[in-house]
Amino acid sequence: MKRDFQDQFPLLYESGRLLFDQPLAQRSSFKIGGPADVLALPNTQKELIALLTYALQKQIPYFILGKGTNLLISDKGIRGLVIGMEGFQKITRDENYVSAFAGVKLRHLCEFAQQEGLAGLEFAHGIPGSVGGAVFMNAGAYGGEIKDRLYCSKCLIPELEHLTGSDPILHLTAEQHDFSYRMSALQTRGLIHLSSVFRLFEDEPSAIKARMKEIEQKRWEKQPMDLPSGGSVFKRPQGHFTGKLVEDCGLKGHRIGGAAISDKHCGFIVNLGQASAQDVLELIKFIQKTVYERYQVTLETEIRLIGER
């Protein structure tokens, strides 16, 4: 596979953007994960389409990787092709609309809007991850969600008939994203996010910055920002708060291997330094079992479990 990719994508290889047996732990907010067989880092839509086309033609499995948040990557890593989107970094403004490419950090998008005197994304400041990931899962916090500000998106249809034809791009209106809690049409339809436009409103940059600072302070007070984690482990069960359920079961600080339930927020599992994906998985199952036995509440994971098992 290595030789085939080198021959097919010589420019990517020569520029150091085609890597083999590449560890993924440092590309994950959990700091956990084995190697990718092939890691490609395209900078253009043309390169991305070429990589996807080749993978589909050769029946090579692929995975699109943003900033690696809300993910638990297997200790064995990911077989096939991993495509990192960090090269897609452009942000622009047109009146009260801001366009951001998939690889832009959500924090950078919020800071750009603040500096431009555009409000509406304050809730997202401090949410780890990229714009692509945020749209993919309808990220939200502190009373806001991506769906509240999203105007439209540009996506790729990862099917050979589209990639090799004249219509690989799909433009989605806000409504066509079919947003719900931590869900979007990008997930249900298998689309690949390229960029999104957000509809914002004017406000004083200093006022926007103050709100962002207040939200960031709340995060540091209530969440384990000083330790690697994958964010909220579980989706919020209807009528309950996950952290309270877990804490009421007496599980605060409970540890399996190098993974532990956060002392600060029981909805988070943190990596104490040497945690494996298996440690985290066993702790997730233990939490689910304990909470169900005591409260008959089923906890569904919000983090995505990916890679070879």
Cβ pair 84, 65 in contact under 8 A: yes
In this structure, the answer to whether residues 106 and 78 fall within a common structural domain is no
**CATH number (domain holding residue 110):** 3.30.465.10
For residue 51, what are the CA distances in angstroms to 86, 193, 234, 240, 308? 15, 15, 33, 43, 21
Other beta carbons within 10 angstroms of residue 18's beta carbon come to 22
In this structure, the answer to whether residues 233 and 293 fall within a common structural domain is yes
Helix axes 205-222, 106-115, angle to 10 degrees: 150
In this structure, the answer to whether residues 189 and 100 fall within a common structural domain is yes
| pLDDT at 249 > cutoff 90 | yes
In this structure, the answer to whether residues 50 and 105 fall within a common structural domain is no
- Res 166: pLDDT: 80
- Give the residue from 30, 62, 84 where a domain finishes: 84
Confidence of residue 251 (pLDDT cuts 50, 70, 90): very high
Candidate list 29, 99, 232, 262, residue with the active-site label? 232
Task: For 15-29, write each residue's pLDDT tens digit.
Answer: 999 999 999 999 999
State how far the Cα of 223 lies from the Cα of 265, in Å rounded to an integer. 6
- Res 298: pLDDT: 96
- Res 141: pLDDT: 86
State how far the Cα of 42 lies from the Cα of 44, in Å rounded to an integer. 6
Task: For 212-237, write each residue's pLDDT tens digit.
Answer: 999 999 988 889 999 999 999 999 89
For residue 309, what are the CA distances in angstroms to 8, 180, 182, 304? 29, 29, 24, 13
Q: List phi, psi (to 5°) of 191.
A: -85, 155
In this structure, the answer to whether residues 101 and 172 fall within a common structural domain is yes
- AA identity, residue 306: I
In this structure, the answer to whether residues 201 and 231 fall within a common structural domain is no
Task: For 122-153, write each residue's pLDDT tens digit.
Answer: 999 988 899 999 999 999 888 899 999 999 99
- Res 126: pLDDT: 85
In this structure, the answer to whether residues 152 and 58 fall within a common structural domain is no
> Active-site residue 221, yes or no?
no
Number of domains in the chain: 3
Candidate list 29, 182, 184, 196, residue with the active-site label? 182
**CATH number (domain holding residue 265):** 3.90.78.10
Beta carbons within 8 Å of 266's beta carbon, 6+ residues apart = 242, 243, 244, 246, 247, 251, 252
In this structure, the answer to whether residues 169 and 263 fall within a common structural domain is no
**DSSP output for 78-93:** EEEEEEE-TT---EEE
Task: For 259-303, write each residue's pLDDT tens digit.
Answer: 999 999 999 999 999 999 999 999 999 999 999 999 999 999 999
> Active-site residue 294, yes or no?
no
In this structure, the answer to whether residues 152 and 268 fall within a common structural domain is no
Domain with 293, as residue range(s), is 226-306
> Active-site residue 232, yes or no?
yes
pTM: 0.92
In this structure, the answer to whether residues 195 and 257 fall within a common structural domain is no
H/E run at residue 292: helix 277-295
Confidence of residue 185 (pLDDT cuts 50, 70, 90): very high
**CATH number (domain holding residue 79):** 3.30.43.10
User: What percentage of residues in the chain have a pLDDT greater than 90?
Assistant: 91
User: What percentage of residues in the chain have a pLDDT greater than 70?
Assistant: 100
Q: Scanning the structure block, which residue is given the tokens 């990719």?
A: 5
In this structure, the answer to whether residues 192 and 243 fall within a common structural domain is no
Pairing of strands 304-306, 71-73: parallel
In this structure, the answer to whether residues 106 and 214 fall within a common structural domain is yes
- Give the residue from 84, 107, 140 where a domain finishes: 84
- Give the residue from 62, 84, 106 where a domain finishes: 84
